[in-house]
Amino acid sequence: MRRPDLVDGHPCSVDSFLRSPFRWLWLRWFSISPAMLLALSFAALIAVGTAGLLWLPGLYTGPRLGFLDALFTMTSAVCVTGLSVVNTATALTRWGQLWLLVFIQLGGLGLVTLTTLVIGALGRRLSLRSEVIVGAPIDYTHRENVLSLTLRVARFTLWVEALGALLLWLLWLPRFGWKDAAWHAVFHSVSAFCNAGFSTFSDSLVGLNESPLSLLVLSFLIILGSLGYLSSEEALRWWRSRDERSRRMSVHTFAALLVTGVLLVGGAVLFALFEWRGTLAHLGYVDRVANAWFMSATARTAGFNSVSYAEVSNASGFFTILLMVVGGSPGSTAGGLKTTTLAVLAALAFTRIRGRRHAELHGRAIPEGTIERTVSLALIAFGVMTAAVFVLSFTEGRGAESVQAARASFLPVFFEVVSAFCTVGLTMDVSPSLTVAGKLQVIALMFVGRLGPLSFFAALSLRARTHLRHVRPAQEDLIVG
């Protein structure tokens, strides 16, 4: 019987690598887990990208970046965040911007996903173990041909980015000319769909805040990228279906679409309310509405800004933090706790308020294991962000001229921590002035946030455990609330 991980007798998968002479890279007792492989793939991308920023010629318009700034910039690109300690629009040449864009795309799709594409292009197939590993970065848990899924994801990504680039090119052609418009359009289309937030304009999208069509195209690229392929595909199939049984949407997609829609519309209304006579006051009515909508779309994940967030009201700043914490949907390029996490927590709260036993969504009971993972994720994430705010407030507040100045910097520091951990990329002008300790902390936050807290701590485990302990200690109740 032919082994599924061999082609013409030759090994062809991740398993073969682990059994090859290169296995000395791993300790003998170390059994690599999908979480660890995902962490290593992102670390490898960051290392290669940083090396390019340090040593490749022709990437800069002026002095080269130092090691720490290059590492910060490339971590932000691979983790599709958008925070930067330099202005990438003016500090990098077109070649430098192209180098950055390549790693934004790689970070958005995921290195392991691209490895799957290469194996498929060679006419080979993945073993069962490799499919489990490859499925991890895209949150795919169904038993289907993962290579087929990966090809569909890549095709969907490239088609959406190409369409977005074409629309942006047509809109920007009169302003920039065909050549510059083409480059700006391609860069922003990829950056928007990957929810990266990097821009080839020195003021991000502030110069386009009177171009509502541009903001509309970019916002829909951001939304599609933050939904993820699986939810987008199912929503489209549901829309086209006429069979009643086929028209029932899965709980996952229903929750993702519901929370996304509520946050988009509700966020636009609140941003318009908070900033109508503030940062949006100089714009016309149509432009104010377009910018409020764009602020709502970009705040959860993308990191573009059409207004200066250093000038928004405290209400807008804090509301943006709440949106950043939620983030996008699982299986997408977005960060944050995810829309489905908010849906599960809300369903659990409503269940307790109504005195019911089982949490429900879309007419289905949510498994207890899912609820436990959701609560664990939320607690770990809030714990990490709380600790990070403490540390960054200390490292960045020591040079304040007065107690009042230190207190005034608290919201920007809080904003920076959440933006980094949730891989959003918005800033209240804190990133360029970070100390060395602050930069290192933000780099770590972006990396952990891109992997996800649960995946990160799973990757830290020395062994990939195959057995769970079923020993249950004696039970004792306690008073809560």
Q: Is 335 helix (H, G, I), strand (E, B) or coil?
A: coil
pTM comes to 0.84
For the stretch 207-250, pLDDT in tens is 999 999 999 999 999 999 998 877 888 888 888 776 655 567 88
Q: What is the pLDDT of residues 382-423, one digit of tens each?
A: 999 999 999 999 888 765 566 666 677 889 999 999 999 999
Residue 138 is predicted with a pLDDT of 46
More confident residue, 148 or 112: 148
Q: How confident is the model at residue 114 (pLDDT cuts 50, 70, 90)?
A: low
| 470 in a structural domain | no
Dist. CA 65–CA 54, nearest whole Å: 7
Mean pLDDT for 101-128 is 63
| Ordered alpha helix ranges (H), 276-401 | 285-299, 314-326, 339-353, 368-397
Nearest-5° Cα angle at 78, 74 to 80: 110
Identify the domain containing residue 218 by its residue range. 31-460
Q: Is residue 476 part of a domain?
A: no
3-state helix, strand, coil in the chain (%, to 5): 65, 0, 35
CA distance linking residue 434 with residue 427, whole number of Å: 12
Per-residue pLDDT, averaged over 295-323, amounts to 92
Spatial contact of 454 and 380, defined as CB atoms under 8 Å apart = yes
- Quick check: is 6 in a domain? no
- Asked if residue 110 belongs to a domain, the reply is yes
Distance between CA atoms of residues 91 and 9, nearest Å:
51
123-136 pLDDT tens trace: 444 444 444 444 44
Most confident of 125-139, 141-155, 343-357: 343-357
Structural domains of the chain, count: 1
| Residue 8 lies inside a defined structural domain of this protein | no
pLDDT beyond 80 at 476 = no
Closest by CA position to 261, among listed 364, 339, 157, 156:
339
Q: What's residue 22's pLDDT?
A: 45
Please give the mean pLDDT across all residues of the chain: 82
- Whether 472 is covered by a domain: the verdict is no
Would strands 360-361 and 10-11 be described as parallel, antiparallel, or unpaired?
unpaired
Residue 15 lies in a domain: no
Q: How far apart are CA 151 and CA 160, in angstroms?
A: 14
CA angle 73, 74, 76 (to 5 degrees): 65
10 belongs to a structural domain: no
